[in-house]
Amino acid sequence: MRKLIIAGNWKMYKTIGETIELANALKRQLYDLGSETVDIVICPPFTSLSEAAEVVIESNIALGAQDMYWQEEGAFTGEVSAPMLKDAGVKYVIIGHSERRQFFSETNDSVNKKVKAALNYGLIPIMCVGESLKDREAGLTFKVLEDHVTGGLKDLGPEQVEKIIIAYEPVWAIGTGKTATPAQAQEAHKFIRDLVIKLYNKQTGELLRIQYGGSVKPENTKELMGQPDVDGALVGGASLKADSFSSIVKSSSEVKK
């Protein structure tokens, strides 16, 4: 049985003060949710990480970052490394989000280097994959997913892949209000799991947690999370308000599979 994992990707929103306020509100609203039902993660921007860590320390909310560089340190102006994230109290790191692929030239190769570095330093990568609308309309969804998954996991062993989380985020559903139907999400998640089983083995595929991301809201959470191969959500817009993110987390904790 895979435990659901609900993560909020705050993207480029929230100052330090706003982060502290939102993290405190989430802590208040979610304090009584047993950690056996669902993993809860918030991913504020780099500038707010250490303050967010102070708020959520010893709570049922874990901290994630939105990106990292694969080198440990050096002359890489503007970048942040895995040990720096660990130092700030981070446990998870989003890698290869479609916005990074689209606006910051992220490739399967850089995603792969970052996933390896994250694992080497004990961070849990949330590796994002997903097709654009053009890909979907051209019938290329599975081909793109195969490229993203095989490219991102290149040279990793099964015991490493078992630690990773994959987020399936169809680009056409991100920030558009257009959610993938539960059947579309299930189809893509099953394809990813079967691919990992083919590339590795049954156990690795069955342990792998696959999140869905793209216009997740309180109203569509239960149906999406109820799908057999959907193991959580990566939430953008709806993670920026305490009420909606808490409601998504609570609805997920009530899902029976």
Q: Which residues are catalytic?
A: 97, 169
CB of 99 to ligand 13P, least distance (A): 7
CB of 246 to ligand 13P, least distance (A): 15
Closest to ligand 13P by CB, 164 vs 200, is: 164
Residue 170 interacts with ligand 13P (CB under 6 A): yes or no: no
Closest to ligand 13P by CB, 97 vs 209, is: 97
State the sign of the Cα–Cα–Cα–Cα dihedral 143, 176, 165, 225: negative
- Measured CA to CA in angstroms, residue 206 lies from 72, 162, 229 at distances of 32, 9, 9
- Name the amino acid, one letter, at 54: E
Quick one: which of 184, 215, 251, 252 contacts ligand 13P (CB under 6 A)?
Answer: 215
Residue 252 interacts with ligand 13P (CB under 6 A): yes or no: no
CB of 173 to ligand 13P, least distance (A): 6
Residue 66 interacts with ligand 13P (CB under 6 A): yes or no: no
Helix (H) or strand (E) holding 170: none
Residue 174 interacts with ligand 13P (CB under 6 A): yes or no: yes
Contacts with ligand 13P in 121-160 (CB under 6 A)? Answer: none
Q: Which stretch binds ligand 13P (CB under 6 A): 50-58, 151-159, 189-197, 211-219?
A: 211-219
Q: Which stretch binds ligand 13P (CB under 6 A): 53-61, 77-85, 181-189, 209-217?
A: 209-217
CB of 153 to ligand 13P, least distance (A): 19
In 66-152, DSSP assigns E strands to 92-95, 124-129
Q: Residue 222 class from Cβ within 10 Å (0-12 exposed, 13-18 middle, 19+ buried)? A: middle
Which residues is 92 bridged to in the sheet? 64, 124
**Virtual CA dihedral for 93, 96, 97, 103, nearest 10 degrees?**
130
CB of 5 to ligand 13P, least distance (A): 13
**Virtual CA dihedral for 134, 45, 2, 60, nearest 10 degrees?**
-160
What HEC string does 37-90 produce? CEEEEEECCHHHHHHHHHHHCCCCEEEEECCCECCCCCCCCCCCEHHHHHHCCC
User: How far is Cα of residue 73 from the mean position of the Cα atoms in its chain?
Assistant: 25
Residue 214 interacts with ligand 13P (CB under 6 A): yes or no: yes
Residue 96 interacts with ligand 13P (CB under 6 A): yes or no: no
Binding residues for ligand 13P, total number by CB under 6 A: 14
